[in-house]
Amino acid sequence: MLAQWVRPPSVPPGQKCSINIRQLPGGTVMEAKVAPGCPYDEAGQRSIEAAVLSAQPLPYRGFESVFQRNLTFVFTPQD
C-alpha cells in the first residue's frame, strides 16, 4: 500500500493515521475508510484511501489461514 501512496505535502513524517479496510477472500478491497481521529487533512485522508484501493488485490495466497475480512492498517509516513 505504501508503494501506491502519493503523500500530500500537508502530511508530516511520523504522523500516524489508521484506515479500516473491508476485503473479500482473494484480496479484493470492498471498502477503505480512514478511521475517526485521523489527524490528516481531507487531502491526506483521501490519498490513503486511494492508495489502498490502488494496491488491490491485497496479499491473500499463502495467508488464507490468517485472512480477516476486516483490517485496520496504520499508515506512518517516513522520509
Query: Residue 62: which CATH number?
Result: 3.30.1150.10
Q: How far apart (Å, rounded) are the C-alpha atoms in residues 29 and 68?
A: 12
Give the pLDDT confidence of 12-30 residue by residue, as tens digits. 999 999 999 999 999 999 9
Cβ proximity of 55 and 4 under 8 Å: yes
Give the range of the structural domain holding residue 52, as residue numbers without chain letter. Answer: 2-75
pTM beyond 0.75: the answer is yes
Cell numbers found for residue 52: 489502498
20: amino acid identity, one letter? N
* Residue 54 backbone phi and psi in degrees, to 5: -70, -25
Band (79; pLDDT cuts 50, 70, 90) = confident
Structural element, H or E, at residue 22: strand 17-23
Number of compact structural domains in the chain: 1
Q: How far apart (Å, rounded) are the C-alpha atoms in residues 33 and 42?
A: 12
